[in-house]
């Protein structure tokens, strides 16, 4: 848990697949110091540690992808406080583990709770504010903050 926590404390961790995704992200961001390139961790490794937000696109040049990445960077500290880790897959031909498990069609965003359940799927870019509101309504978030209501 400490390893993921340390990644999240520096800001929103974005794991991109491929150099093209990096280029698309850099174009929308002046501060790319929060972006780590590499293979995404297995979703099973993130159970009870982080809330993955998986962003899919068929190409890193998709304007919805660029818009989504900008939206996520707007409130990265708030997302980091909620243990969000962003996983990006812009290569449908690679048939990576995220695509095989979540089966996206074109652009999409998937929010996964800490228990591994898919909390929300969105076929369009989603603001950080909407994601934060969704997370704040989750029972796991209520338990974290001590505001759990019965």
- Cβ atoms 26, 69 nearer than 8 A: no
pLDDT at 52: 93
Are 79 and 128 in contact by the 8 Å Cβ rule? The answer is yes
> Within the chain, which residues score under 70 in pLDDT?
1-38, 148-150
What per-residue confidence (pLDDT) applies to 38? 67
pLDDT given for residue 84 in this prediction: 93
Contact of 73 with 106, CB cutoff 8 Å: no
Q: Which domains does the chain have, with CATH numbers?
A: 2-117 (3.40.30)
pLDDT one-digit tens code per residue, 104-123: 999 999 999 999 999 999 99
């Amino acid at each position: 848990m400490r390893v993921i926590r340390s990644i999240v404390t520096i800001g929103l961790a974005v794991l991109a697949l491929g150099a093209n995704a990096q280029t698309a992200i850099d174009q929308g961001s002046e501060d790319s110091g929060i972006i780590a390139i590499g293979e995404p961790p297995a979703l099973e490794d993130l159970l009870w540690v982080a809330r993955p937000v998986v962003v899919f696109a068929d190409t890193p040049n998709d304007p919805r992808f660029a818009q989504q990445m900008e939206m996520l960077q707007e409130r990265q500290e708030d997302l980091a406080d909620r243990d969000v880790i962003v996983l990006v897959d812009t290569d449908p031909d690679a048939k990576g583990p995220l695509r095989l498990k979540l089966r996206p069609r074109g652009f999409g965003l998937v929010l996964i709770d800490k228990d591994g359940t898919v909390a929300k799927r969105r076929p369009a870019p989603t603001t950080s504010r909407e994601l934060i509101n969704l997370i704040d309504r989750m029972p796991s978030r209520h338990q974290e903050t001590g505001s759990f209501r019965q």
